[in-house]
Structure 1
Amino acid sequence: LKEVQKNYSQGWQDIGKVNGKQYGVYYKAANKSLIWYNAKVFENAGAKEPTTWKDLLTTAQAVYDSGVTPFSVPGADGWPLTDWFENVYLSQAGPEKYDQLAQHKIKWTDPSVKQALQTLAQIWGKKDYLAGGQDGALQTEFPNSVTQTFTGGDQPKAAMIYEGDFVQVNIGETKAKVGTDAKVFPFPAVGSTAPVVSGGDAAVVLKDSKAAQALMTFLASPDAATIQAELGGYLSPNKNVAISAYPNSVQQKIAKSLIASGDDFRFDMSDQAPQAFGGTPGKGEWKDLQDFLKNPGDVAGAQAALEKDAAAAYGSGS
């Protein structure tokens, strides 16, 4: 417990607790607030890494004007669409509203949801900004959404792909090199603060013993995470792991962004929801956001569908 308290922010401690007791240590994290881009396309377009949503729209237009479609959106998979929404909503509405919506303490018909969907529509609603338009996006699965951004030299099907640090795995299937051909920037601030949405994997003790305590103490230490960090393809929420432990500048940038968020990060909202709403293909939030991508002008219709499905999944007591 002391090792957890020493090395983890309060937010990471809390999500490993049940009724105030520490059962889990988040050994591995995912930073799901990143936008990866084709460096050559940005260079040709004279585009810069944006820090605000307004800047992102400006960057997208510069890329479009250079002759490349700005975004690759994997609409055939519902989960990346929920991640898009969560980043916009967390930054725009703030952590308190995010928590309330995650627990269905406010409805999806809330004005804050309307504002987030309207903001998303500034990209999703522009056919020319999406590889293949809305119809093409809805037929594009996640792995291909990444590879089509980093194949084709300086004329790929799209310049940018939003998703977490695990995008690197799919970039590895192309000839593009992370850090030179493929670069990354944090999801831009829509409101006053840039969002950090995370996921992760926890080590959990269900039966206490000296051996279990020793293992958990080690896993919660900077030593354990540093060994893994140096191997690459890994991200730790342990704030006392040196950023220099990560093997390249891209990994270091991703880790720095996660740790800098302190307690302001939020765990993936759809992962907190009942599976019927937040985690089932063709149903609930996944389907409703796919329908919204298909028809981004119907914000009210999307809100009504989301609320209907959420109410059914969470139960009338929510």
Structure 2
Amino acid sequence: MRTSSTIRTGRTVKRTTRAAATLAVAALTLSLTACGGDDDNGGGDSGDKGGGTKAPASSVTLPKLDGESLEVAAVWTGTEQKNFKQVLTEFEKRTGAKVTFVPAQDPIINFLGSKIAGGSPPDVAMLPQPGAIKQAVDKGWAKPLGAEATKELGENYSQGWQDIGKVGGKQYGVYYKAANKSLIWYNAQVFENAGAAEPKTWDELLDTAQMVYDSGVAPFSVGGADGWTLTDWFENVYLSQAGPEKYDQLAQHQIKWTDPSVKEALTTLAEIWGKKDFVAGGASGALQTEFPASVTQTFTGGDQPKAGMVYEGDFVQVNIGETKAKVGTDAKVFPFPAVGDTAPVVSGGDAAVVFKDSKAAQALATWLASPDAAAIQAKLGGFLSPNKSVDASVYPNEVQKKIADALIAAGDDFRFDMSDQAPQAFGGTPGKGEWKTLQDFLKNPKDVAGAQAKLEADAAAAYGG
């Protein structure tokens, strides 16, 4: 979900107008604020809320695969992995195949390289970056989707979501999972104690943070041990402040990271990252906090948690579910505030890519492109599907239903995560590139020029000059 459509598929980029972007942001904002504070915990009269997202009457047709065995690799862990395995179990029931989940490590493209070198690639892998899909195609590892998977994809996905899974005009990826990465979740009791309200602009966010701080709670929890969370912070600020055209250019390295627009965004980020005691545990504490803990520490500890707010996508709900907090009541959410003229809407996702061109692997890709598969995981929470044939009523709470509706209503009008568009060496590798530089910047947010120089050097090397 982006404020306008920039979909990088190899070297092709699709754009829509800023006017359309504004409509998408407005739809998201209205959807979230319409949630109020109540969580109906699934069900309800959401049958007419799907914006045309009714599931089809017939189920996907799958072949009989008795005796076949498949492996599916993904970096998912914990509840996310557990829930996805339920989707695979249903595939087994329908086909007779046996599916094994293979835990992968970031960067997954390196993990796959080692598996392929050892002669044991998985049948299907879930790739979290368009750049990784292109790398897999360029290396000759990925196989194009077959006719049935492509047909299922065409029936259930907008053209934009189909396009980001293409390389060289061929369909390689099924974006099974999406993410709205423009959300800030907050502890409702902390806000009530502080007398704080949901902010709509960056200046209001700073004021809200000060109110939370004055009430005795650190305003923000930041999972700085995972560099990708920091790239998401940057992308939201940059998209809103610099605008979609600049975002496009920086995503493709058509402008340098030493550009004044990057300086402005980093300087803006430093208004939070560099403010004493605004980040729980300070920079050193944040850099030792992994993403799941950044969420759970915001919603545990009664009315004195370690932080009052945590920024990240809709998938935060999986981690909130590990606490006693209830989404929509104890844990609430607002759109990432506008830094510039328009609030940002940034999306990400994970695509199923075939690595063994077999009947079984293609059948699994077909299954993952179906509303039947997505509905299983949607019901379990912490999951968002770009599949427009999934009825929003299957989502387990009102907040998630509204987020899902907004994603489908946006259609092709979104911007994809910038770091996920980059070569993995720059935008997707722990301890390197953008992840590492932004971790260093969190530690020393006064060194804007140094961060810019390092980002540009790493980007130039990764993009090839």
- Aligned match of 2:43: none
Q: Deviations over 1:230-288 (max 9, x none)?
A: 33332111234332221111211332343344333222222222222222222211121
Work out which of the residue numbers 403, 407, 421 in structure 2 matches 1:258.
Answer: 407
Instruction: Extract unaligned runs of 5+ from structure 2.
Output: 1-149
1:109 maps to 2:264 = no
Higher deviation after alignment, 216-225 or 306-315: 216-225
- Aligned match of 2:244: 95
Q: Secondary structure at the match of 1:127?
A: coil
1:309 Cα deviation after fit = 1.3
Instruction: Kindly report which structure 2 residues correspond to 1:214-233, keeping only aligned pairs within 5 A, or say none.
Output: 219-233=368-382
Q: Secondary structure at the match of 1:108?
A: coil
- Aligned match of 2:424: 275
1:166 maps to 2:301 = no
Work out which of the residue numbers 218, 227, 238 in structure 2 matches 1:78.
Answer: 227
Q: Which amino acid aligns with 2:189?
A: K
Q: Which amino acid aligns with 1:203?
A: A
Q: Which amino acid aligns with 1:290?
A: Q
1:295 maps to 2:444 = yes
Q: Secondary structure at the match of 2:277?
A: helix
Does the C-alpha gap of structure 1 residues 118 and 265 become closer, same or farther in structure 2, counting only changes over 3 Å? same
1:217 Cα deviation after fit = 5.9
| Whole-angstrom CA distance in 2 between matches of 1:80 and 1:183 | 19
Does the C-alpha gap of structure 1 residues 289 and 28 become closer, same or farther in structure 2, counting only changes over 3 Å? same
Does the C-alpha gap of structure 1 residues 206 and 157 become closer, same or farther in structure 2, counting only changes over 3 Å? closer
Answer yes or no: is the 8 Å Cα contact 2:317–2:381 preserved in 1: no
- Aligned match of 2:10: none
| Whole-angstrom CA distance in 2 between matches of 1:227 and 1:155 | 36
CA RMSD of aligned residues (A): 2.5
| Whole-angstrom CA distance in 1 between matches of 2:430 and 2:221 | 20
Higher deviation after alignment, 107-116 or 263-272: 263-272
| Whole-angstrom CA distance in 2 between matches of 1:302 and 1:236 | 35
- Aligned match of 2:59: none
| Whole-angstrom CA distance in 2 between matches of 1:212 and 1:140 | 37
1:206 Cα deviation after fit = 7.0
1:53 maps to 2:202 = yes
Instruction: Kindly report which structure 2 residues correspond to 1:32-51, keeping only aligned pairs within 5 A, or say none.
Output: 32-51=181-200
| Whole-angstrom CA distance in 1 between matches of 2:368 and 2:227 | 33
Answer yes or no: is the 8 Å Cα contact 1:34–1:184 preserved in 2: yes
Higher deviation after alignment, 63-72 or 189-198: 189-198
1:123 Cα deviation after fit = 0.9
Q: Deviations over 1:38-69 (max 9, x none)?
A: 11101112222222222222221221222211
Answer yes or no: is the 8 Å Cα contact 1:88–1:195 preserved in 2: yes
Q: Which amino acid aligns with 2:440?
A: D
Work out which of the residue numbers 183, 204, 221 in structure 1 matches 2:332.
Answer: 183
Does the C-alpha gap of structure 1 residues 62 and 260 become closer, same or farther in structure 2, counting only changes over 3 Å? farther
Q: Deviations over 1:98-154 (max 9, x none)?
A: 222122121101121111111111111211211122232223222222222111110
Between Structure 1 and Structure 2, whose CA radius of gyration is higher?
2
Work out which of the residue numbers 385, 404, 410 in structure 2 matches 1:236.
Answer: 385
Does the C-alpha gap of structure 1 residues 263 and 115 become closer, same or farther in structure 2, counting only changes over 3 Å? farther
Work out which of the residue numbers 285, 292, 295 in structure 2 matches 1:136.
Answer: 285
Work out which of the residue numbers 297, 302, 305 in structure 2 matches 1:153.
Answer: 302
Does the C-alpha gap of structure 1 residues 216 and 138 become closer, same or farther in structure 2, counting only changes over 3 Å? closer
Q: Which amino acid aligns with 1:99?
A: D
| Whole-angstrom CA distance in 2 between matches of 1:133 and 1:215 | 45
| Whole-angstrom CA distance in 2 between matches of 1:76 and 1:211 | 38
Q: Deviations over 1:190-218 (max 9, x none)?
A: 23332222222223457889988776666
Q: Deviations over 1:6-42 (max 9, x none)?
A: 5433321210112223333212212222211111101
- Aligned match of 2:275: 126
Q: Secondary structure at the match of 2:302?
A: coil
- Aligned match of 1:249: 398
TM normalised by structure 1 equals: 0.89
- Aligned match of 1:309: 458
Q: Which amino acid aligns with 1:173?
A: E
Does the C-alpha gap of structure 1 residues 147 and 225 become closer, same or farther in structure 2, counting only changes over 3 Å? closer
Work out which of the residue numbers 52, 64, 77 in structure 1 matches 2:213.
Answer: 64
Instruction: Extract unaligned runs of 5+ from structure 1.
Output: none
1:223 Cα deviation after fit = 4.6
| Whole-angstrom CA distance in 2 between matches of 1:260 and 1:296 | 37
1:188 Cα deviation after fit = 1.9
Higher deviation after alignment, 214-223 or 263-272: 214-223
| Whole-angstrom CA distance in 2 between matches of 1:203 and 1:4 | 12
Q: Which amino acid aligns with 1:44?
A: N
Instruction: Kindly report which structure 2 residues correspond to 1:7-18, keeping only aligned pairs within 5 A, or say none.
Output: 7-18=156-167
- Aligned match of 1:30: 179
Q: Secondary structure at the match of 1:189?
A: coil
